[in-house]
Amino acid sequence: MHRSRPLVAALAVATAAGCSFPNAGTVSNSGSYRSSHVITPDKRGKITFYDDTFGDATPDGIVRGPNNAVWFTDPGNDVIGRVMENGRYTLQQSVGAELSDGITVGPDNNIWFTLEGGGVGTINSDGVTRFKDSSGSFPQGITTGPDGALWFAQVGGVGRVTTQGTFRHFSIASPNAELQGIVTGPDGNLWVTQPIVGSSFSDKIIRVTPKGKHQSYTVGSGPAWICVGPDKALWFTERAANAIGRLTTSGKYSEYPTNYQGGGPSGIALGPDGALWFTDFNGRFGIGRITKAGKIHFYDSGVSGDELRQIAPGPIGAMWFSSYQGVDGIGRITVY
């Protein structure tokens, strides 16, 4: 069972790459096709799930890494996983510490991830290296910053860490604020979501300069994960508002409700087709696609009660996403 981190617990209250690794742990068998569901006459929208047979699979963070592999965090097992474009799981590497949700490709082309107890880790052909951060508090999303360091969102602020493991912290919110998504914007600043303050949903996106200066913007309720869109604006999911938000770097905000009863947008990423693709945490609409003009279309996963987490562009013209309810593993949806 996936442990209850502060952010996940608060949400519950508020809502009532192709290289070999030594000592890689257990490697699962090839992924099996659990569901394929097409709801449009063309090839767009075909969803395929690949079972992760490694114990109690709870994949969350996801990113495309080297050699067309998709990498993901599995906080329930504290392993970093890798799945190839054919759906075969080729790595389940224990990290030796409690994992969080964040994962990204660093400036050194290695996979970097956040550790729930504070700190970050990296994995390459030499194995896993962890950098403990005694001043950090429940880091979540992580991204490569404009200065070539790794930046991550955490309780009350953001952290910065070099590839050598030197940390620096910036307080940008109240001490009980949960910060989650983080991305480098086209303006050379970091943009961070604040979904929770205390036990209530928040409505803030925070811009942070590389020197730690910050400014907050009011958006819809419960902003979660965030990305840069094709129009150079910030796009993000709003879990509590059941909507997709858009914020320009000058602070102009727009909101696009899903109009899908009971939906809960979660992960979001820019697809190779120039649209934004997002997942449903609540198991209602499956996968959503929104154009920069705000037109939304949904693709039913075909799985009852699915809980879809994060999403990222991957190989073979598809978006890849994590699922740990309904199907425990990684899925993909074609975009063309």
Is residue 71, in this structure, part of any structural domain at all?
A: yes
Dihedral sign for Cα 46, 51, 56, 58, please: negative
Which domain CATH number covers 198?
2.130.10.10
Please name the residues in contact with 111: beta carbons below 8 A apart, sequence gap of 6 or more: 17, 63, 65, 71, 80, 103, 104, 105, 122, 123, 124
Is residue 272, in this structure, part of any structural domain at all?
A: yes
Arithmetic mean of pLDDT, 23-39: 32
Would you say residue 3 has pLDDT above 90?
A: no
Q: What does the pLDDT look like over 162-215, one tens digit per residue?
A: 999 999 999 999 999 999 999 999 999 999 999 999 999 999 999 999 999 999
**Tokens encoding 286:** 């499956």
Annotate 145-161 with DSSP letters as a single string.
Answer: -TTSSEEEEETTEEEEE
CA 276 → CA 103, 219, 234, 243, distances in Å?
Answer: 19, 18, 11, 13
H or E segment and range at residue 141? none
- Segments forming the whole domain that contains residue 163: 6-334
Whole-structure pTM over 0.85, yes or no? yes
Q: What does the pLDDT look like over 59-95, one tens digit per residue?
A: 999 999 988 899 999 999 999 999 999 999 999 999 9
Least confident of 153-157, 252-256, 288-292, 301-305: 301-305
Task: Specify which residues 200 forms β-bridges with.
Answer: 197
Is residue 164, in this structure, part of any structural domain at all?
A: yes
The structural domain count of the chain equals: 1
6/20 Cα distance (integer angstroms): 35
Is residue 78, in this structure, part of any structural domain at all?
A: yes
Residue 28: which pLDDT band, with cuts at 50, 70 and 90? very low
Is residue 1, in this structure, part of any structural domain at all?
A: no
Residue 54: which pLDDT band, with cuts at 50, 70 and 90? confident
Q: Identify the pLDDT of residue 26.
A: 30
Least confident of 52-61, 74-83, 282-291: 52-61
Residue 11: which pLDDT band, with cuts at 50, 70 and 90? low
Q: What does the pLDDT look like over 125-139, one tens digit per residue?
A: 889 999 999 888 899
